[in-house]
Chain A
Amino acid sequence: MNPLNRRAFLRNLGVSAASLPFLSALPSLNAAAAQGPRKQRLVIIFTPNGTVPTEFWPDVEGEDFQFKSILQPLEPFKSQTLMLKGVYNKIKGDGDQHMRGMSCLLTADHLLPGNIMGGGGAPAGWASNISIDQEIKKALQARPETQTRFGSLEFGVAVPNRADPWTRMSYLGANQPVSPIDDPYQMFAKMYGQVKDKDSLVSIMDDVKDDLRKVAAKLSARDKQMLEEHLTLVRSMEAELKAPAVHVEHPLPELDPGIELVNDNTPQISRMQLNLLVNAFTNDMARVATFQYMRSVGGAQMRWLGIQEGHHALSHEPDTNQEAFGKLVKINSWFAGEVAYLAKRLAETPEPSGEGSLLDNTLVVWTNELGKGNSHTLDNVPIVMVGGGGGFKMGRFAKLDNVPHNRLWLTLAHGLGHTGLKTFGQADLCEGGILPLS
């Protein structure tokens, strides 16, 4: 690629010339240097309010399964998909089903007593345990060879701005919920703030220098000296800004400017966030991510699908309501489409320092707080896994026999290399240990 084309290529990516020095180290130059065990990554995607079982679970077990309507968008990745039925969230105790469905989903332990009242059961508080994403992150960050800048990133899409057991699934420990970032601009600032800052600063440096020179001209010799000193400092900062930085090896993603964080922009926000996630993996900023759509009991009005009613209200409708049924299928299918988009982006991105694609080394787990919306069951929680991370045997539909979800998370941890983990969450539910998924 000649310089001119490279510049145009970067411009098309929305990166200004000022960032050019940061992009000097392209992946091909580094590829040879990468050795050792493959990098593995995990993404846990959450969507709310249960699924529509009849349009979700395949009829036939094993490799000859067929996707039902909801999962049609994942058809291109069927051979890399593993669906698991028979995973139960067996955590009892305080809190309603939605609360336990959400805050016990990744923590696999009971809720602490508290003051938050749901639609049934006793009031409850936060989860009492670390969540599996944070547990795996902690293990990866503890080893230099798997350490990354952030370890994990917590993405959100249209998550309401309040903290309670329905809006938090990721926990650092008991009583320590982690807030997802549902503003792509904020996520971008977290990931690339320093780079963008440099970009902005470089753009004003000439004006600042001019200004210093102009005002200095009017001063006495003694005062002028101070401004000259100042000018020297500005020049040295400019030189530092222009020196190449090594950390960002891949182009910064492009964000559409000015997307408001409102319900109707959810589709754009979802794609912006998914692109940022892929970019974070490409630049190896994190190996673990959670990706939370709305919240449990989420009432998003998906007008972009032609649906006016809120999602949660629809999910309460009896099975006989054909119209609601159709809309719920549409909603869940849209979620499947977002999962498929992520899979596609991962599949078309080469593994930066090794063989194959990012998807070959990433496990995407799509799950939900409920098995089914109108029954509020925590049985048969939807589990769809896509990608080559974890080393499981993919391309099949497996029915498990009433397995506590504790064991699935334990299995995931081992697949991602955290083999020291013996139990996870409520210990008695881990009986039987890891699941034979490979």
Chain B
Amino acid sequence: MPACVSNFFTRLAACLATGSLLWAGNVFAQPVEPTPASAQTPEPVGAATGPAAVATEPLGAAIYRKSCAECHGKRGEGVTGKYDDPLAGSRSLPSLVRIISKTMPEGKEGTCTGPDADAVAAFIYDAFYSPAAQARIHPVVESLSRLTVAQYQNSVADLLGRFRQGFDRPLGPQRGWRGVYSGFAFSTPEEEAENRELVAKKKDKKPRRPEKFERVDPQISVHFGPGSPDPEKMIPEEFNVRWNGSIYAPETGSYEFVVKTENGVRLWVNEPDEPLIDSWVTPGPETREERKSIFLLGGRCYRISLAMFKFKDRSASVELLWKPPHGKLETVPQAQVMPQEIATNMIVKTALPADDRSDGYERGTTISKEWDQATTTAALEVAAHVEMTLDALSGSKAGAPDRVEKLQRFCRRFVETAFRRPLSDAQNAALIERAFQAAPTPTIAVKRLVLFTLKSPRFLYPELSHADGFDDFSVASNLALVLWDSLPDPALWKAASEGRLHTQEQVEKEARRMVDDPRTKAKLRGFFQQWLDLERAEHAAKDTVLFPEFDEALHSDLRKSLFLFLDEVVWGQAPDYRRLFQADHLWLNQRLGRVYGQTLQGDEFQRIVPVRGKRAGVLTHPYLLSSLAYNRTTSPIHRGVFLSRSVVGVNLKNPSVAVAFEDAKFDPSLTMREKVSSLTKNASCAGCHGVINPLGFTLEQFDAIGRWRSEDNRKPVNSTVDFDAEEGASLHFTGPEDVANYAVSSTHAHDAFVRQLFIYTIKQPPAAFGVETLQRLRTQFATNGFDIRKLLVDVVMTKASTGIPPAAPKVAGN
């Protein structure tokens, strides 16, 4: 007989022997899972309860029913108007005990302590609070999702790219523009003499000798004055230059291009036939600025070309500048340009409605009429684009004998790529051949098929590509979707058709290859924007009297500095999560150095360890610190909420009453710490602000624009706090460094990071792939030395390998 059963019977026997049925009754009648709320009738707290009820209820459940349920609901679901939010979260049991002892029940704090608090906390924890209880009560399943906006745009770009030569060509390491300079050579004395003779004979002069050279220019910023690009060899009156290359767009958004010149210029971006700026004819001799914006998808290169010519203008000069999203206007940096030219990207111009972000990440789990209409307009746009470029896409000419055959082949590949799996010959006949028979002309058939494909659920809902069963193509589809927000590339397609996505190892190999692609970089960039709430940072504005240096240029440099840091960590030699918090350096240039206390030269960014004010990675990056602050003062609450939710991993409820921070209402001699403490001293605030405030106060050494300071309001800054950690211990923090050290060692913090990366990448909660998913990933993360890129692969594998049998233990002789 197993020990537990034996114990049970022994205990039961003991109970019977003492004549007490208290525990025995409980063991039989009341398992851990409480009965559904509807089965119980409400009873007023403190009302006399029959002996039977007392006899069948454990202590924790009884206390909960008597003292908690009125506000929190029978099963912790919340009570409208009292305490709306359900009792569910990630705190540890000891942490719950402590909170209950200190703050509960409201109005009678201190009446539920010791064993009572232990018992009720244990009941709450096991019955509904803990993640495991929640997973049991509300099982999470993956929800069917349509393409998000980014997924739609990237999928269309890669779908059309499949048919363009050189679309997947890797660009070399060289940076800069290929400049082709053409003009005329100076006449030699002999030629001049000859020309004089010809003129005397009333004949035409001999044509000038052309002079031409090529070079790689780091930037387009040339000032020839009245001279020529080569004053030794090329005449100054008449010449032209064409710069070609590809430009890398680091993030999705609107890029403004500005050409400054007094000469004739044309600029092409992405579209080789339609100039973005056509200013070949000058409106006058003055230097002018031609500006145009273009929407580009991040993580991609775009062909770009600038042509200028001079003809008897007084002088010649050209500068090409850009203003990337969130950036400042600057000469297009050399680092962004490669001298090779790449194929055109199809960028859908139709605006798609913004995705649902109510769960903190963009996901495609709802559809609307606007969305349906936008996908229709976008489909028409793509169909028109296909029609216009059909010869190039299909590799055929109108009227050629094999035209129809080639168009059909194009259509088949188009449909297959969009649906992320091959068509059988029967499907091909039913869809493509039938369309060609039904349409009045082959071109119309193509157009209709494109429309149909882009409106089909098989394109719009990537999950449906494996509705008929899971195979290598499903794996390819999942990989491309989660890593690139796109469709499988030719290499993935090939691996799938050759059955090379069949085992965990094979899939992981592909995932690792894909992580290094710029599209993954763009996706991770998106993750950091989400995780660090950079959308909020974009709108940071400061009091111009207090912080005159905080202008648009500084703000844009700060953003650049942050991304230099993130790129350094994530894409450098050691992509260690811990460095995100523990690094003590900042990337600064001259402008930032002036404000953040370091004298530097030039626009170039350098890795600097500030002399004063020890930094702690992203926690103290001035871009974040200034975003998490008011326009005149810091905001420990904003900083604390960020640290709690995003770094330390505490689930915070929304405040029960919204309280605005009004600086003017406080005694003007108080420090910010004193003001915030006083504002949140109410018991109903203490639950969350007991966590938020200490964390926020640790950053008080940094002012509203993230500069180090030793005083606040002429009093020394106090950034020392006691923090009740999720794990239950009370910790002593003296500043951001200690928060950083806690974050790198706390499994709660690891969970928070893994979870956020997971939902951003996969767009489903981890529990949809099994309740143990998060824990498994966190353990792997630690085992892998907190390697962020490996974590990404593991996260991706969770989704991509759905349906693949888990790696079997190696069997001898296998």
Contacts and interface: CB of A to CB of B under 8 A. Distances in A.
Interface of A: 16, 112-117, 123, 125-126, 161-165, 174-175, 189, 197, 200-201, 203-204, 207-208, 211-212, 215-216, 218-219, 222-223, 226-227, 229-230, 233-234, 236-237, 257-258, 260
Given A211-B458, A258-B399, A200 B282 contact: no
Contacts of B263: 115
A37 to B, nearest CB: 39
Contact of A204 (B273, B443, B455, B464): B455
Interface in B231-282: 263-264, 273, 278, 280-282
A229 B283 contact: no
B464 A215 contact: yes
Contact of A233 (B281, B369, B451, B458): B369
Contact of B281 (A116, A223, A230): A116
Contact of A208 (B282, B440, B443, B452): B452
B740 to A, nearest CB: 42
Contact of B284 (A125, A161, A233): A125
Contacts of B461: 215, 227
Interface residues on B, range: 35 or more
B763 interface: no
A229 B282 CA distance: 55
B312 interface: yes
B468 interface: yes
B48 interface: no
B452 A233 contact: no
Given A229-B367, A260-B398, A125 B376 contact: no
A201 B451 contact: yes
B280 A201 contact: no
B789 interface: no
A197 B380 contact: yes
Given A215-B464, A215-B467, A222-B143, A164 B281 contact: yes
A237 B373 contact: yes
Contact of B457 (A16, A200, A215, A257): A215
B18 interface: no
A18 to B, nearest CB: 12
A381 B28 CA distance: 111
B722 interface: no
B311 A257 contact: no
Given A226-B367, A230-B367, A163 B280 contact: yes
A163 B278 contact: yes
B282 A204 contact: no
Nearest to A123: B312
B441 interface: yes
B283 A175 contact: yes
A163 B281 contact: yes
Interface string B456-486: 1110010010011000000000000000000
A128 to B, nearest CB: 10
Interface of B: 141, 143-144, 263-264, 273, 278, 280-285, 309-313, 365, 367-369, 372-373, 376, 380, 383-384, 398-399, 439-441, 443-444, 447-448, 451-452, 455-458, 461, 464, 467-468
Contacts of B281: 114-116, 125-126, 163-165
Nearest to A204: B452
Top 10 closest pairs, chain A to chain B, by CB? A223-B144, A233-B372, A204-B452, A115-B282, A175-B283, A218-B467, A258-B398, A114-B282, A208-B455, A215-B464
A257 B443 contact: yes
A174 B143 CA distance: 58
A113 B313 CA distance: 10
B284 to A, nearest CB: 6
Contacts of B368: 233
Nearest to B383: A200
A164 B281 CA distance: 6
Given A204-B452, A208-B455, 7 more contacts: A115-B263, A163-B278, A200-B380, A200-B444, A201-B380, A215-B467, A219-B144
B144 A226 contact: yes
A189 B384 contact: yes
B311 A204 contact: no
B372 A234 contact: yes
Contacts of B399: 258
Contacts of B439: 203
Contact of A211 (B367, B398, B443, B457): B457
A204 B455 CA distance: 9
Given A112-B284, A116-B281, A211-B458, A233 B468 contact: no
A116 B399 CA distance: 40
Contact of A113 (B278, B285, B365, B440): B285
A200 B452 CA distance: 10
Contacts of A163: 278, 280-281
A223 B143 CA distance: 7
